[in-house]
């Protein structure tokens, strides 16, 4: 887990077994002048502990609820539905936007992601810029901040 940037702002939580994707997203958000920390997890069980505030993540003053969740999703990744379910069934997290990242632009996969509560679905390969655009289009000034604002 990496918690770079400001600890006072809610993080962008990324759940993806490919840590290179998390690193690229962090770089894209930095280039877009986003100042929220990016917290990345390669394992869903650790991300779920963070989301539920259990174990080492129980201190919400240190481990803030996320402003946005970005999760890998698809046939090859059963963790995406688990993450979506955890967010949508938790009262404190229920309204948190979730961006699902899939490997296919398959209609059934897109429909399933939206049925489970994804705010947006993006297919790989994708530019991190697309994720940044989705996050900034959510217009949540209370969460994702830009430097100089």
Q: Is the pLDDT of residue 20 over 80?
A: yes
List of residues 6+ apart from 130 with CB closer than 8 A = 122
Mean pLDDT of 3-16: 75
- pLDDT, tens digit, 9 for 90 and up, residues 94-113: 999 999 988 777 788 889 99
> Which CATH number do you get for residue 22?
3.40.50.2300
Residue 22 domain flag: yes
pLDDT at 29: 83
The answer to which of 42-51, 66-75, 91-100, 133-142 has the lowest mean pLDDT is: 133-142
Burial of 53 (0-12, 13-18, 19+ CB in 10 A): middle
Residue 4 lies in a domain: no
pLDDT at 74: 78
Residue 114 in this model has a pLDDT that exceeds 70:
yes
Q: How many CB atoms lie within 10 A of CB 15?
A: 29
pLDDT at 144: 46
Q: Are 63 and 7 in contact (CB under 8 A)?
A: no
Residue 45, domain extent: 12-137
On whether residue 77 sits in a domain, the answer given is: yes
Tell me if 144 is assigned to some domain. Answer: no
| Count of structural domains within the chain | 1
**Domain assignment present for 102:** yes
Higher-pLDDT residue of 103, 39: 39
For residue 102, the model assigns a pLDDT of 84
Q: Tell me if 143 is assigned to some domain.
A: no
- Is residue 149 domain-resident? no
**Domain-embedded: residue 5:** no
């Amino acid at each position: 887990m990496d918690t770079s940037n400001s600890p006072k702002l809610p993080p962008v939580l990324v759940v993806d077994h490919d840590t290179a994707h998390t690193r690229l997203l962090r770089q894209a958000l930095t280039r877009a002048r986003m100042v929220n920390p990016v917290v990345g997890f390669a394992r869903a069980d650790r991300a779920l502990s963070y989301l539920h505030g259990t174990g080492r993540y129980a201190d919400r003053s240190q481990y803030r609820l996320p402003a946005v969740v970005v999760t890998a999703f698809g046939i090859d990744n059963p963790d995406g539905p688990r993450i979506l379910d955890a967010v949508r069934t938790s009262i404190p997290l229920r309204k948190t936007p979730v961006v699902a990242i899939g490997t296919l632009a398959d209609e059934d996969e897109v429909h399933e992601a939206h049925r489970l509560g994804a705010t947006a679905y993006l297919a790989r390969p994708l530019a991190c810029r697309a994720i940044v655009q989705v996050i900034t289009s959510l217009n949540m000034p209370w969460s994702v901040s830009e430097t100089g604002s």
